Amino acid sequence: MTKFTDLNLNPKVLKAVEEAGYETPTPIQAGAIPPALEGKDVLGIAQTGTGKTASFTLPMITLLARGRARARMPRSLVLCPTRELAAQVAENFDTYTKHLKLTKALLIGGVSFKEQDKLIDKGVDVLIATPGRLLDHFERGKLLLTGVQIMVVDEADRMLDMGFIPDIERIFSLTPFTRQTLFFSATMAPEIERITNTFLSAPERVEVARQATTGENIAQGVVMFKGSRKDREASEKRKVLRHIIDAEGDKCTNAIVFCNRKVDVDIVAKSLKKYGYDAAPIHGDLDQSQRTRTLDGFRDGTLRFLVASDVAARGLDVPSVSHVFNFDVPSHAEDYVHRIGRTGRAGRDGKAIMICVPRDERNLADIERLVQREIPRLDNPLAAQKASAEPVKAAETTEQEDKPKRSRSRSRKNDEAPQPEKPPVTEAANDAGDAPVQDKKAPSEEPKRSSRSRSSSRGKAGGDRGGNKVVGLGDHTPEFIGLSFKERSTG
């Protein structure tokens, strides 16, 4: 078995590697370091989490151990797609150069130009940068790339996804033709292959795994979920996520939750915190100092859940991530490989669970086609919960049916006292075309009087109109009512 001592590295570099606790190189390291030390261009293809960073940092440090940097003219250049990955590469250089007097500068957004200019003016051996910030310094006249001897492009396929390829091509044109190029990527899209054919000279191709493969030590699963209603889908989906986390129990020591959109990162993080989960968001719109604090908290174990966009999917080295939860199915199939590559690192076991809604099934099919395997389907925890609740509801319904039914009324008083029967409607009122008028029974205390005596007495006072009687109006019909009746009958 190959060891680092067999790779012809600088003795001071070997000492730093040994102090870091490494003895045996990974396959990509064993394949890339020897040709890099010989000065050849290297094209490294390996899935994330295989140790690609040390594949170029160790030979670079060995080659740069001799020589001295000049002001504004770095001797080597490392390009990274994100600030976090660039900061991580800088940490690796600090680890492996502890016994050598090599200087470095980190050029990333969110940091003052003034401080970065001071470092460049002094001269640096290693310049680690994101493409946008590097070109900003160049256009301001603060940087020259004509002294670059070794150029590294890390996570090239991520550069393609983020739209950095035109910037990369321009940076290549600003460096000497005689430079040594180390080019690393997890996948080889046609555009990436075109760049390697253009800017690399007879590269040594090192491919340690099939393109876009996932680690065998990562248990994968997908929950097929459909919301009860469109307006409830997002909240129900977050509930599914919480149930999945709870089902993992103590096995989930920490996890990264990936979302496709930045706004969803904030919403999911806020939701998890609301329900008592220790979570924090990280995405490109946050301040760099906040992103650094969040990552440091996740690395040292004070933060359990990191809710992230794809800014955290590439290159972040947190060896002990137990789970990855894909809250959204990635739009690009390659991103799935990089996301779940955050778990199961350094030979550890990991678990990756994804939630798929009906509109994302096409993306799920693309992922399965890319990784050349079917991702196992898992039970929907919400569906299982509803199924277990149905027998209880059925029993409650049966109990309610056994109880005597009680009709609802407008008031408790009406409910307690039975309603009296309505008196019959007199025929006279109906015949006259008026509203139904009810007979009112006289109280039992009054002496009963005949209808004849009532009509005669009233007839004397108001005059008889032919004997027509309208109950409730006396013994005659007023003139204005009679006129209205005539108009209705004739009309």
Any bridge partners for residue 73, and if so which?
A: 70
pLDDT greater at residue 46 or residue 209: 46
Using one digit for the tens of pLDDT, what is the confidence trace for 256-283? Answer: 999 999 899 999 999 999 999 999 999 8
Tokens 């969803």, located at residue: 264
Starting at the edge strand that comes first in sequence, how are the strands of the sheet with 204-207 ordered?
104-107, 126-129, 76-79, 150-153, 180-185, 42-45, 204-207
292/153 same-domain check? no
Q: What is the DSSP letter of 438?
A: B
The secondary structure element, H or E, covering residue 281 is: strand 279-282
pLDDT, averaged across the chain: 81
The one-letter amino acid code at 307 reads V
Tokens of 73: 């003219």
23/143 same-domain check? yes
102/177 same-domain check? yes
Using one digit for the tens of pLDDT, what is the confidence trace for 6-64? Answer: 999 999 999 999 998 888 998 999 999 999 999 999 999 887 667 889 999 999 999 99
| Beta carbons within 8 Å of 488's beta carbon, 6+ residues apart | 433
22/166 same-domain check? yes
Dist CA 378 CA 351 (whole Å): 13
**In-domain check, residue 405:** no
The pLDDT, as a whole number, for residue 217 is 85
Tokens of 270: 């806020």
Dist CA 351 CA 51 (whole Å): 20
Tell me the HSE value of 170 on the side-chain side, using a 13 A CA sphere: 11
**In-domain check, residue 403:** no
**In-domain check, residue 192:** yes
The CATH number assigned to the domain holding 187 equals 3.40.50.300
How do 255-258 and 150-153 pair as beta strands? unpaired
pLDDT greater at residue 315 or residue 329: 329
pLDDT greater at residue 181 or residue 414: 181
Tally of domains in the chain: 3
Dihedral sign from CA coordinates of 10, 12, 16, 19 = positive
The values of phi and psi at residue 165, to 5°, are -60, -45
Whether 287 has a pLDDT exceeding 70, the answer reads: yes
Tell me the HSE value of 205 on the side-chain side, using a 13 A CA sphere: 8
**In-domain check, residue 392:** no
Query: What confidence category does residue 413 fall into, taking pLDDT thresholds of 50, 70 and 90?
Result: very low
Percent of the chain with pLDDT over 90: 49
**In-domain check, residue 103:** yes
The pLDDT, as a whole number, for residue 127 is 96
Of 207, 231, 247, the domain-final residue: 207
Among residues 38, 36, 41, the alpha carbon closest in space to that of 55 is found at 36
The pLDDT, as a whole number, for residue 305 is 96
How many residues are listed for the chain in this entry? 491
The pLDDT, as a whole number, for residue 438 is 47
Dist CA 367 CA 216 (whole Å): 16
Dist CA 100 CA 16 (whole Å): 10
Q: Please state, as a whole number, how many other Cβ atoms lie within 10 Å of the Cβ of residue 287.
A: 9
Query: What confidence category does residue 473 fall into, taking pLDDT thresholds of 50, 70 and 90?
Result: low
**Helical residues (DSSP H) of 275-307, grouped into ranges:** 288-299
Average pLDDT for 340-362: 89
144/174 same-domain check? yes
The pLDDT, as a whole number, for residue 1 is 62
The pLDDT, as a whole number, for residue 213 is 67
Burial of 460 from C-beta contacts in 10 A (0-12 / 13-18 / 19+):
exposed
70/130 same-domain check? yes
**In-domain check, residue 396:** no
Dist CA 414 CA 436 (whole Å): 24
CA distance between the termini of the chain: 114
The one-letter amino acid code at 306 reads L
The pLDDT, as a whole number, for residue 50 is 76
Of 188, 207, 226, the domain-final residue: 207
- HEC profile of 51-78: CHHHHHHHHHHHHHCCCCCECCECCEEE
pLDDT greater at residue 485 or residue 90: 90
Dist CA 353 CA 257 (whole Å): 10
> In terms of residue numbers, what domain contains 468?
427-441+448-490
Q: Which of 66-75, 207-216, 381-390, 411-420 has the lowest mean pLDDT?
A: 411-420
Query: What confidence category does residue 464 fall into, taking pLDDT thresholds of 50, 70 and 90?
Result: very low
200/234 same-domain check? no
Dihedral sign from CA coordinates of 227, 230, 236, 241 = positive
287/189 same-domain check? no
Among residues 157, 129, 134, the alpha carbon closest in space to that of 43 is found at 157
183/259 same-domain check? no
Any bridge partners for residue 375, and if so which?
A: none
Is the distance from CB of 78 to CB of 145 less than 8 angstroms?
no
199/271 same-domain check? no
472/354 same-domain check? no
Using one digit for the tens of pLDDT, what is the confidence trace for 75-108? Answer: 999 999 988 889 889 999 999 999 998 999 999 9
Average pLDDT for 122-142: 93
Using one digit for the tens of pLDDT, what is the confidence trace for 178-190? Answer: 999 999 987 788 8
Burial of 148 from C-beta contacts in 10 A (0-12 / 13-18 / 19+):
buried
